[in-house]
Amino acid sequence: MNAAKKLADAIRTSLGPRGMDKMLVSANNDVTITNDGATILNKMEVTHPAAKMLVELAKSQDIAAGDGTTSVTVLCGSLLNKCIGLLERGVHPTVISDAMGRACDKACEILQSMAIPLDIDDREALIQAATTSLGSKVVAQYSNVLAPIAVDAVLKILDKERPVSVGAFPNPGTLFDATYGVRLRTSYHYIGATEIKTACSLCINCPTTRLADSGLTIFFSKSQEMVDLRDIKILRKSGGTIDDTEMVPGLILDSKSSKAAGGPTRVENAKIALIQFCISPPKTDMENSVVVSDYQQMDRILKEERNYIIGLIKKIKNSGCNVLLIQKSILRDAVTDLSLHYLAKAKILVVRDVERDDVEFIAKTLKCAPVAHVDQLTPDKLGHATLVASVQCGADKMVKITGIENMGNTVSVLCRGSNKLVIEEADRSLHDALCVIRCLVQKRFLIVGGGAPEVEVSQQLGKWGRTLSGMDAVCVKAFADALEVIPYTLAENAGLNPIEIVTELRNKHATTGNANFGINVRKGTITDILLENVVQPLLVSTSALSLATECVRMILKIDDICPVR
């Protein structure tokens, strides 16, 4: 427990908008500058098994919510500190564990009651949430550029009509929770009753709707499936500043178009083929050496190779293709100098070495099908775009495809920065902002930041704890006190007097109607944080509480470490 607590204390200084950054240096002198809790813990060499659980905790929070990784670790460390005090007083670990589970459930209920419903079409509210997430990053001064990009990117890929399963609510009065993005298709009807369209409008407007009619089959889409961040591709290019970061209207490829033999670098009215076969002479399945001593036979081999390549290119040209994206091959050269020469003669723009991981994204964007054999290359498998051109970006070149016909629900973001360290941190920060917007799609509620929810939950848990008896009351009180580590650390990292600030914050929250008062680190005082537009998704806070409590309960249950062979 002490090892895990020490690790949590190590990253406490990174919490909040005024938190410090960590410089992480690897064994081969690779440097990373960040204050993202998950990145710091992931790159640290942690050997103690209990401390490793905190690393996994931060990873879990990163997967579940994408933000709040530092908060969840600090919270876990504070809970462990309180548990050590309870154990020294002779309280049994099982009693502490059970009481903390109950306290966590109650805390999540309190947070839910504090939450502000969000309309997913309210772009300004989404930008405020993304700006709050970016406020604690190294690139916080560029939040006015990155936050709108994150919001627009997620809203563009949002799939509101993705049916993934069928549910039936046969019993009258079944609770149907629509706040998690459940949507009904209007083309289906009640059995001998009202149209589903009526229920749909009710469900979207109300937190919970009781369906009175029985025998209803519902097609619904889970909101977790409505946003897939793999549909957003972030391309990092050095040169320029973070202000130059933009969301590209089309597709960008981190590859140069081939200029061999004077091939084209710009094509209008492009017909694009994505191929997975090689335009090069075939090789034997096994490593064999063929010795040719006759010059006539050598000429014959070269002629056959040339005829083979010309045959492939004729079939490609006959399909109408004038832009060729070639997947990188690990077995042999995907394209040779000879094939590039003939492709240039055919006026086909060639982009080589497309990564295997990018094939699915490109196919989805261009609405084209990857072709594994030249005989399968037909006009219906081609993508269409107004322009494909090789453009300069800093010191490098990239291929930009614009004016794509029937473009898929994907987004390409070009992330710029002055050096590698800045670009990597901008990429991580933008990913966190994207995750925040995804959280708001999953659970459409906002809560205020600035330590206000933690103090409010602490106060209400304290009142609830006084209604309990025995050791449960003591453990719930300890849980409530542990939550105050968040406002305490925020004040400490901002250079304020933490004891004075937290005491004043408690007094504010003791009065009814002051639930939104928190620490304003810019002004160094207590203000209504909602008026300052410092908001965060409810899911980030509830996920952090649940995961931190779960981790503490797991550690509490361990009474010994036994080395094994």
pLDDT digits (tens), the chain, 565 positions: 788 888 888 888 988 888 888 898 988 888 888 888 888 888 888 888 888 888 899 989 988 888 888 999 999 999 999 999 999 999 999 999 999 999 999 999 999 998 989 888 888 989 999 998 888 888 888 999 999 999 999 988 886 655 333 333 333 333 333 333 333 333 332 223 333 333 333 333 333 333 333 333 333 334 445 788 888 999 998 888 899 899 988 899 888 787 776 788 889 999 999 998 888 887 776 677 778 888 888 888 888 888 999 999 999 999 999 999 988 877 677 888 888 888 888 889 999 888 888 899 999 999 898 998 888 899 899 999 999 998 888 778 889 999 998 888 899 999 998 888 889 889 989 998 999 998 888 888 999 988 899 999 999 999 998 998 889 999 999 999 999 999 999 999 988 899 999 999 999 888 888 888 999 888 888 999 888 888 889 999 999 999 999 999 999 888 888 888 7
Residue 443, C-beta contacts closer than 8 angstroms, at least 6 positions apart: 179, 180, 223, 537, 538, 539
Helix/strand/coil for 519: strand
Helix/strand/coil for 283: coil
Which of 110, 114, 106 is CA-nearest to residue 465?
A: 106
Tell me the C-alpha distance between 519 and 495, whole Å.
12
Which residue reads 């099908």 in tokens?
369
Tell me the C-alpha distance between 354 and 324, whole Å.
10
- For residue 69, the one-letter residue type is T
Catalytic residue list = 36, 69-70, 432
Global pTM reads 0.79
Q: Where are the alpha helices (DSSP H) in 443-511?
A: 452-465, 471-482, 485-493, 498-510
Confirm if 180 and 223 have CB atoms less than 8 A apart.
Answer: yes
**Structure-token pair, residue 501:** 């600030």
- How far is CA 133 from each of CA 60, 63, 150, 412, rounded to the nearest angstrom? 18, 16, 11, 21
Pairing mode, strands 323-327 and 349-354: parallel
What pLDDT is recorded for position 217?
A: 38
Q: Counting Cβ atoms within 10 Å, is residue 306 exposed (0-12), middle (13-18) or buried (19+)?
A: middle
What pLDDT is recorded for position 203?
A: 39
First to last CA, the chain: 24
- How far is CA 93 from each of CA 6, 75, 376, 550, rounded to the nearest angstrom? 20, 19, 65, 14
Pairing mode, strands 396-404 and 250-253: antiparallel
User: How many secondary structure helices (H) and strands (E) does the chain include?
Assistant: 17, 20
Which of 215, 153, 223 is CA-nearest to residue 183?
A: 223
In 8-100, DSSP assigns E strands to 22-25, 31-34
What pLDDT is recorded for position 161?
A: 56
Confirm if 210 and 175 have CB atoms less than 8 A apart.
Answer: yes
**Structure-token pair, residue 536:** 């965060």
Tell me the C-alpha distance between 33 and 422, whole Å.
8
Helix/strand/coil for 516: coil
- Packed helices 69-88 and 93-114: angle between N→C axes, nearest 10 degrees: 140
| Angle value at C-alpha 155, between 38 and 118, nearest 5 degrees | 80
Which of 263, 400, 383 is CA-nearest to residue 320?
A: 383
What pLDDT is recorded for position 225?
A: 56
Return phi, psi of residue 131, to 5°: -65, -40
**R_g (Cα) of the chain, nearest Å:** 29
Which of 7, 6, 1, 20 is CA-nearest to residue 490?
A: 20
- How far is CA 558 from each of CA 90, 341, 482, 564, rounded to the nearest angstrom? 16, 68, 21, 16
- Packed helices 471-482 and 93-114: angle between N→C axes, nearest 10 degrees: 50
- How far is CA 387 from each of CA 80, 265, 519, rounded to the nearest angstrom? 59, 11, 51
User: Residue 113, Cβ neighbours under 10 Å: how many?
Assistant: 10
Pairing mode, strands 174-177 and 208-211: antiparallel
Residue 126, C-beta contacts closer than 8 angstroms, at least 6 positions apart: 118, 120, 151, 155, 437, 440
Tell me the C-alpha distance between 156 and 181, whole Å.
16
